[in-house]
Structure 1
């Protein structure tokens, strides 16, 4: 099944940011997404520029919240997030596995050919959308290793 169309930047950042946010709200926040039978939730607070905290984590990058910079590759792929969640494990190009980051369990949903990943934090009765991004080459190697360790060599 083909991936959803990209949402390309048209040159007007303010309008594009509003389009991205509308897409985020309709396609992710209000779409009743679920994974492995549990709902997907998004982090609303602390909000910034009247937009949800989680929104900034799927369209921008950086370690310091107030200094995150928009990443056009993330932005244009915002429609892919719901698709990857919905088709994880059923589309042969989309694999998923769990990993540990400190004491937290995360789920990585990865479209290997496009090298695009969605990260969910596992909670007791839901998953929290943490981020989505195009993986760098060093992360691709780590993803393959983690997936093989989780699935015992099987591409889940």
Structure 2
């Protein structure tokens, strides 16, 4: 258990509260995403957050699908209910990046520079991707495997020793 309070995290949006109706649940979690990333103008350290809009699937932006589903093939990604439940978490985590419970660093994925924001107490990770003049929220998910946590911790420690 963490010594840090994260009362700034919103409640989960549970599938069970939607009577097993996926379409109704999808509409609810999309509205939460839309409110946080489309209706308002979020920023990270004064830089505008954009969205990866394409491919649009069922009228919803690629960023949304990356935050609620998993899989390496875009057209074959599957919903992950743990991600769906936490759809209201990415923005508060981004906005609380200076909170003592949050670890933040940069890494490279191919030619892209990514900003990693890890709310370790909740095992929750938000990934941003730097672009010219703006930042894309890329994905967000629970870190559930011990080896994933150890890898993230090593990355964080290495970045602390040699930030760029």
Question: TM-score, with normalisation over the residues of structure 2?
Answer: 0.88
1:30 is displaced (CA, Å) by 2.5
Aligned CA RMSD, in angstroms, stands at: 1.5
The answer on 1:87 being equivalent to 2:93 is no
Cross-structure match for 2:3: none
Greater Cα shift, 77-86 or 35-44: 35-44
Moved over 6 A (4+): none
- Per the alignment, residue 146 of structure 1 pairs with 155
Question: Are residues 1:105 and 2:99 paired?
Answer: no
| TM-score normalized by the length of structure 1 | 0.92
How far apart, CA to CA, are the structure 2 residues paired with 1:31 and 1:141?
35
**Counterparts of 2:147 and 2:24 in 1: how far apart (Å)?**
34
Alignment of 1:26-65 (within 5 A): 26-65=35-74
Q: 2:162, 2:93 → 1: CA distance?
A: 21
Distance 2:39 2:133 in 1: 18
- How far residue 153 of structure 1 moved from its aligned partner, in angstroms, is 8.7
Q: Deviations over 1:101-124 (max 9, x none)?
A: 111100011100111101000112
Unaligned regions of 5+ residues in structure 2, if any? 1-5
Match of 1:25 among 5, 23, 34: 34
From 4, 15, 24, the equivalent of 1:9 is 15
Structure 1 CA distance for aligned equivalents of residues 15 and 59 of structure 2:
21
What does residue 114 of structure 1 align with? 122
User: Which deviates more from structure 2 when the two are superposed, residues 26-35 or residues 125-134?
Assistant: 26-35
